[in-house]
Amino acid sequence: MSGLLTFMLHGCGLLARAGRGAILLLAMLCMPTQAAEGDDVYARALSAIAEGRHGEARVLLSQVAATQPEHAGAWLDLAILHCAMGNRVEAEALFETIELRFAPGPALRELIARQRASGCQRKRLPAAVRVRLGRGHDSNANQGASNPNLAIGAGPGSVTLVLAPEYEPRGDDFTHLQVDGVLPLSADNLLGFGQLSVRRHDQVHTFDISALALGVEKRWEPNDWQMQASLAGGALELDGQLYQQSALIQGQVTPPLPLPQPWTFSLVAAQSYLAYADQPVFDARQAELRGVLRREGQRTMLGLAAGGLRDYGQGNRPGGDRHGWSVSAWGSLLLWGQATGEFMWSQQRWQGSRDYAPGLIELKRRQDVNQWRLALTQPLGGRHSLVAELRQLDNEENISIFGYRSRQFSLSWQMDY
């Protein structure tokens, strides 16, 4: 779910670029500054504005204005940013300072007049939609067991059970469609978001997937802190039949820590609920607390996360409650032209609290899930892109019949609107 939220917030920032970009270009061309051309702090501030990270941009521009008081571009950008955020009093004070200190020419006086005439009302951003349609191949479309043999008991009386052939790994081609969207619901950072995902296999129809998720997210920026809360719900179908329903409550806080720029640290707490249509014995509540370290530059982005997990099942769920941990890393890099490369790696480990099935499988289930993803996005012009993606999942288990491996490759057309 976190990948969905990240796309939606980034999509809104992209839609805000056009108007802000024209203002920033005019400011840089018309007003002299004493900042060096390669001023890293100022460049990061402009990048943050373009990507909709207004709280971060405000801190960076204030830093430039304080350390380089003759940096007229930073003063103007800070004033316009406050106006765009609805901070009318702060914006007016900065406009007055600019007029007294820098004596701007007619073009910039007209720009300031237009900002004042707007009333510094926070504007609602338009909706953002991303559509992805493609073909791919999955080496294990049915999540078949890597080892079909299960030993029961020990010593001379032990018995080895063998899964039926239909539970062996089966590769298959598939067609997939995914639609992501975000709709600002108010001018004060309240967003609605959704995702529809459909995957149809050529042969293994039992694992055809349809999934829908909808939610809302609210963001605040009190005293240079960045905070957000989200609530989401979803449903998953397998082969046209309802399989699972879910709900998620998540909160994130990013304090203004004195970290080397452009690093930020966030603390994320989440609670999710899972309900299974035909197997209510597996219904569960999961809790997670993780720390997230991020670095965002002009051409690169890197994220690192680690945290603890708890999984509370029904009283008679096989294996009882579980505890575990997770670590992950992800990032992106702007390559040649406008092509973008992305990577993701994660590891999640679970440990059961009691034997999975006393008298039959007398083991505490231990699950170790490793995933990685590589993707390359090549713009085709306009709103269209070509996306090549490679994924691998290794689910290692001490109960042999639950372990499986899967590798997927897909090639997709993508449109952003």
Nearest to 135, CA basis, from 197, 199, 195:
199
Task: Identify the residue with better confidence: 125 or 265.
Answer: 265
Fold of 128-416: Porin (2.40.160)
pLDDT at 233: 98
Q: Report d(CA 105, CA 97) in Å as an integer.
A: 14
Residue 99, φ and ψ in degrees, nearest 5: -65, -35
Q: Report d(CA 45, CA 298) in Å as an integer.
A: 10
pLDDT at 262: 83
Q: Which CATH architecture has domain 17-117?
A: Alpha Horseshoe (1.25)
Query: Quick check: helix, strand or coil at residue 305?
Result: strand
Query: Residues, the chain, total?
Result: 417
DSSP state of 102: H
pLDDT at 123: 65
pLDDT at 49: 80
358 — pLDDT class (breaks 50, 70, 90): confident
pLDDT at 124: 64
pLDDT digits (tens, 9 = 90+) for 374-392: 999 999 988 999 999 999 9
Q: Report d(CA 69, CA 58) in Å as an integer.
A: 15
Assess whether the previous peptide bond of 156 is cis (omega < 30° from 0).
no
For the chain, give the mean pLDDT.
86
pLDDT value at 69 more than 80: yes
pLDDT digits (tens, 9 = 90+) for 97-108: 888 888 888 888
Biggest distance spanned by C-alpha atoms of the chain? 95
Over residues 338-361, mean pLDDT:
92
pLDDT value at 326 more than 80: yes
CA angle 132, 7, 344 (to 5 degrees): 85
Nearest to 296, CA basis, from 35, 26, 57:
57
pLDDT value at 247 more than 60: yes
pLDDT at 13: 38
Of 8-12, 83-87, 122-126, the range with the lowest mean pLDDT is: 8-12
Containing 180, the helix (H) or strand (E) segment is: strand 172-184
Over residues 52-71, mean pLDDT:
83
Q: Report d(CA 352, CA 364) in Å as an integer.
A: 5
Q: Residue with structure tokens 């579980």? A: 322
Nearest to 44, CA basis, from 77, 69, 8, 72:
77
Residue 45, φ and ψ in degrees, nearest 5: -65, -45
pLDDT value at 364 more than 70: yes
16 — pLDDT class (breaks 50, 70, 90): very low
pLDDT at 229: 97
Q: Report d(CA 359, CA 153) in Å as an integer.
A: 9
Task: Identify the residue with better confidence: 39 or 171.
Answer: 171
Cβ neighbour number for residue 31 with a 10 Å cutoff: 20
* Domain locations in the chain as residue ranges: 17-117, 128-416
Containing 294, the helix (H) or strand (E) segment is: strand 284-296
pLDDT digits (tens, 9 = 90+) for 395-416: 999 998 999 999 999 999 999 9
pLDDT digits (tens, 9 = 90+) for 128-155: 999 999 999 999 999 999 988 887 766 6
Q: What are 371's strand-pairing partners?
A: 346, 393
Over residues 5-31, mean pLDDT:
40
Looking at the chain, the whole-number percentage of residues with pLDDT higher than 90 is 53
pLDDT at 149: 86
pLDDT at 181: 96
pLDDT at 83: 86
Over residues 45-49, mean pLDDT:
81
pLDDT value at 88 more than 50: yes
CA 324 to centroid of chain Cα atoms: 22
pLDDT digits (tens, 9 = 90+) for 271-282: 999 999 999 999
127 — pLDDT class (breaks 50, 70, 90): confident
Q: pTM of the prediction?
A: 0.74
pLDDT value at 321 more than 50: yes
- Decide: 117 and 393 in contact? Cβ < 8 Å: no
pLDDT at 170: 95
